[in-house]
Amino acid sequence: MKTIAGFVVTLFLLAFAFTSRMLGLPQPPPDISYKLISPKAGEVLYTGQTFRVEWESSISVVGHLPAYCEMELWLSLDGGRTFIRQITPSMDPRATFFNWIVPNMPTNSALLEICYGGEPFYPDALMPQTASPFVIRDSGVQ
């Protein structure tokens, strides 16, 4: 009985693999990792300030990326419990910086998350940058 069940599962997996290729589904995006360079841990940003957010990635070892791959940065004001605001548009995953206008959302627990993936075909990989919490302070300028 185990032999028949194993055979059926194998047939199912092979059928799925061939069907997905015949339907033209894209290959999964390559695994890529990102690491935030700035802001650094404990850095203080001021509302209204234009700040250059920078990161590095492992893309150089990946080679060609499918056209559907993208990356985005999201902001958390509560130390990473929730990421409430997308701060970049969907960007080319090879990008390494974004000039960000710091929002009027003061907090002592700001954190960024880098999302990479291939939606609508594949879900995003979420990479919260927990080693780099920073502060957003009111600039006092109205």
Select the CATH number that applies to the domain covering 29-137 from these four: 2.130.10.10, 2.60.40.10, 3.90.1570.10, 3.50.50.60.
Answer: 2.60.40.10
Query: What are the domain boundaries of the chain?
Result: 29-137
pLDDT for 19: 46
19 or 128: which leads in pLDDT: 128
Q: For the sheet containing 50-57, what is the strand order?
A: 34-38, 50-57, 97-101
pLDDT band at 24 (very low <50, low <70, confident <90, very high): low
Average pLDDT over residues 27-52: 90
Q: Which residues of 11-22 are buried (b: 16+ CB within 10 A; e: fewer)?
A: eeeeeeeeeeee
Whether 40 has a pLDDT exceeding 90, the answer reads yes
Within 15-58, strands assigned E span 34-38, 44-46, 50-57
* 102-113 pLDDT tens trace: 999 999 999 999
pLDDT for 135: 98
